[in-house]
Amino acid sequence: MNNIEYTPFQDHESLYALNEQLIDAEDLRGTNLLMSFTGFSDAGHVVTQIAAELGEELTGDPVAVFDIDQLIDYRSRRPRITFTEDHLSDYKAPSLVLYRMVDALGTPFLYLTGNEPDLQWERFSLAVLGLVERFDVNLVAWVHSVPMPVPHTRPIGATVHGNRPDLIEGISAWKTTLEIPSAIGHVLEFKLAAAHRNVVGYAIHVPHYLSDAEYPPAAVAGLEYLGAAASLMLPSERLREAGRAVERQITEQVEGSTEVATVVANLEKQYDEHTDGTARRSLLAGDNDELPGADELGAAVEAYLASRDSGKEDDTESGLS
C-alpha cells in the first residue's frame, strides 16, 4: 500500500479511501464480490482460515481501505499485541479492506475482509452498497460458520440464504424460522436484496464439539461453496492437507475414549434420522459426498465458464445481448 494515493469522500463515502490506480480498472466491472468478517460467530475458525488462505495464496491489491477508527470499539474488542522479553512487538491492528484478487484461472474478483464493524452499521452498509453499485457487482457471496449438533463423520452441511434460488434450493440441511442476533453480513445481505442485487450467504455447520478449535474441513467447504457460487477457483489444498491431519487426530481421540465415541455415535444416529436418506443438492460434492480435488474443481469451473461464454456467443448471433 506504500506510495498509493487515496481519495477521501464525504458522507458514508468518508468511511473509506479509494485506490486511484484501480477504481477505473475495466476488469472490476461486473465482477463478483466475496465477503468474510471476523468478530461474529466463527465456529471452527472458518472465517479466519479462509481469510488467511486467500491472503497468503492469492495476490491482493487494495481497492478501498476503510477508516477502522470510525468503526471499531477498541475497548470492547482490544487488539492483540505481543510482549517479547523487554519490548512490545507484533501489534495486530484491526483492518477492513476491499481487495482486488485473481483466482487460479486468472479471473479477477473483489474480496471484502477484516474486522466486523462495532459502530456505524448503517453508514457502513451504505458505503458497501455504494461500492457494489460503483463496480456493478454481479454477485455478492459471503460466509460465516456456526456450531451445530452434527458429527464430524458426515458431510459438512451449510445453511444457505439469499435471493438466488439456483444457489440455494436443495442445499440447506435444516430450514426453520427464528429470530437471531444479526451480523454485519446479515445486514448487508438484507440491504443488497432490497436493492435487487444478487446475494447469497453460507453458514457452514461445524460440529459443536470442534467449534473452539481450527477445523480445516469446514474452511475448505466454505471456500468451495464461495468458489462454486462465484465461478472462481479458490485455493484450498493446504487446508485440505491440514484437514486430513486433524481428522486423523479426531479419529484417534474417538477410538481412545468410549465416552467420546458414544457422543459421536448418538450424533450420527440423530443426523441420519433427521436426514432420513434425503438427498441434498450440492454445488460441490460428487456421488460419494466427497469434495472434489483442485484439478477436478478447476476442470468443472473451466467447463462452466466455457459453456457460459458459448451461450453469450449464441445470444449475440441471434441478436440478443
**Can you list the domains of the chain with their CATH numbers?**
6-276 (3.40.50.10900)
SS3 286: coil
| CA neighbor of 219 nearest in space, from 50, 43, 34 | 50
What confidence score (pLDDT) does residue 2 get?
55
Q: Is the pLDDT of residue 90 over 50?
A: yes
**Phi/psi at 158 (5° precision):** -150, 145
| pTM as predicted | 0.82
What confidence score (pLDDT) does residue 79 get?
92
Q: Is the pLDDT of residue 10 over 60?
A: no
Strand duo 87-89 + 60-66: pairing: unpaired
| CA neighbor of 201 nearest in space, from 211, 212, 190 | 190
- pLDDT band with cut points at 50, 70 and 90 for residue 312: very low
- 255-270: average pLDDT: 91
Q: Tell me 271's DSSP state.
A: H
Cell 484491526 belongs to residue: 94
Averaged pLDDT of the chain: 85
Q: Is the pLDDT of residue 13 over 90?
A: no
Q: Is the pLDDT of residue 287 over 70?
A: no
What residue spans of the chain are helical by DSSP H? 46-57, 121-134, 165-168, 184-194, 216-230, 237-255, 258-275, 294-317
Q: What percent of the chain lies above the pLDDT cut of 90?
A: 68
CA dist., res. 168 & res. 25, Å (int): 31
Q: Which of 30-44, 101-115, 249-263, 269-283 has the lowest mean pLDDT?
A: 269-283
What confidence score (pLDDT) does residue 98 get?
98
Go through the chain and tell me how many residues it has: 321
The better pLDDT of the pair 270, 98 is held by: 98
Strand duo 87-89 + 96-102: pairing: unpaired
Residue 243 in contact with residue 220, Cβ under 8 Å? yes
Q: Is the pLDDT of residue 288 over 90?
A: no
